[in-house]
Amino acid sequence: MMQWLPEDVSPYGGSIDALFYFIYYITAAAFILVTALMIIFLYQYRRDDSRRAVYTHGHTGLELVWTIIPALVFIGLGLASKSIWEEVKLNVPETDVEIRVTGKQFNWEVLYPGPDKEFETDDDYQVDNDIHVPVGKPVRVFLGSKDVIHSLFMPNLRFKQDMLPGRQIEAWFQANKAGTYEVPCAELCGFGHSGMKGTLYVDTPEDYAAWYDKRWPPAETNGGDASAAETTEEVLAGGAVMDAETMPEPEAEPAATEEEAESAMEGAADSAAQEATE
Partner 1 sequence: MSEAGAAAAHDAHAEHHELGFIRTYIFSTDHKMIGRQFMFASILMLIVGGLLAMMMRWELAWPETAVPFTSWISEPFMYPADEDSTVGAVEGLSEFVDPFPGANFAKSLGSVGGAHMDPAFYNSVFTMHATIMIFFVVMPFMVGGFGNFLIPLMIGAGDMAFPILNMLSFWTAVPATIMIVYSFFVEGGAAAGGWTMYATLSADPTLSGVDTGADLWVISLLILGVSSLMGAINYITTVVNMRAPGMTWFRMPLVIWSLFVTAILLLLALPVLTAALGMLLFDRTMGTSFFMPGGGGEPILWQHLFWFFGHPEVYILVLPAMGVTSDILSTFSRKPIFGYKAMAFSMIALAFLSWIVWGHHMFVSGMNPVLGTAFMLTTMVIAVPSAIKTFNWLGTLWGGNIRFTSPMLFALGFVSNFVIGGLSGIYMASTPVDIFIHDTYFIVAHFHYVVAGIIFGMFAALYYWFPKIFGRMMNETLGKVHFALTYIFFNCAFFPMHFLGVAGHMRRIYNPLQYEFLHDIQWWNVFITMSAFCLGLSQLIFFVNFIWSLIAGKKADKNPWEANTLEWTAPSPPGHGNFETTPTVYRGPYEYSSPLVKEDWLPQDRKLGPEVVTASQ
**What would the DSSP string read from start to end of 97-139?**
EEEEEEEETTEEEEEE-TTTT-TTSTT-EEEESEEEEETTS-E
Q: Residue 102 or residue 161: which is nearer to partner 1 going by CB?
A: 161
Instruction: Note whether 201 binds partner 1 by CB under 8 A.
Output: no
Please classify residue 115 by burial: count the beta carbons closer than 10 Å to its beta carbon, then call 0-12 exposed, 13-18 middle and 19+ buried: buried
CA 217 to centroid of chain Cα atoms: 31
Which range in 64-72, 129-137, 214-222, 226-234 contacts partner 1 by CB under 8 A? 64-72
Q: Which residue in 6, 156, 19 sits closest to 82, CA to CA?
A: 19
Question: Contact with partner 1 (CB under 8 A): which of 139, 189, 209, 269?
Answer: 189
Is residue 61 at the binding interface for partner 1, with CB under 8 A as the rule? no
Amino acid at 184: P
Neighbours of 147 (CB within 10 A): 13
Distance between CA atoms of residues 174 and 42, nearest Å: 52
62 or 255: whose CB is closer to partner 1? Answer: 62
Binding residues for partner 1 restricted to 211-270, rule: CB under 8 A? none
C-alpha to C-alpha distance for 263 and 240, rounded to whole angstroms: 10
> Which residues within the stretch 133-172 sit at the binding site for partner 1 (CB under 8 A)?
147-149, 151, 153, 155, 158-167, 169
The single residue among 95, 105, 257, 271 that binds partner 1, judged by CB under 8 A, is: 105
Binds partner 1 (CB under 8 A): choice among 61, 90, 254, 256 = 90
Q: Which is nearer to partner 1, 64 or 226 (CB)?
A: 64
The distance of closest approach from Cβ of residue 239 to partner 1 in the complex, given in angstroms and rounded to an integer, is 25
Query: What is the dihedral sign for C-alpha 173, 177, 182, 186?
Result: negative
Separation CA 273–CA 207 (nearest Å): 15
Decide: is 59 part of the binding site for partner 1 (CB under 8 A): yes
User: Rounded to the nearest whole angstrom, what is the least distance from the CB of residue 127 to partner 1 in the complex?
Assistant: 21
**Closer to partner 1 by Cβ: residue 38 or 219:** 38
**71 scored as a contact of partner 1 (CB under 8 A):** yes
Please count the residues of this chain forming the interface with partner 1, following the rule CB under 8 A: 85
β-strand pairing of 139-145 with 97-104: parallel
Using CB under 8 A, which residues numbered 8 to 47 contact partner 1? 12, 15-16, 19-20, 23, 26-27, 30-31, 34-35, 37-38, 41-42, 45-47
Which one of the spans 5-13, 202-210, 236-244, 250-258 is the region binding partner 1 (CB under 8 A)? Answer: 5-13
* Shortest spacing between CB 181 and partner 1, in angstroms: 8
CB 135 within 8 A of CB 202: yes
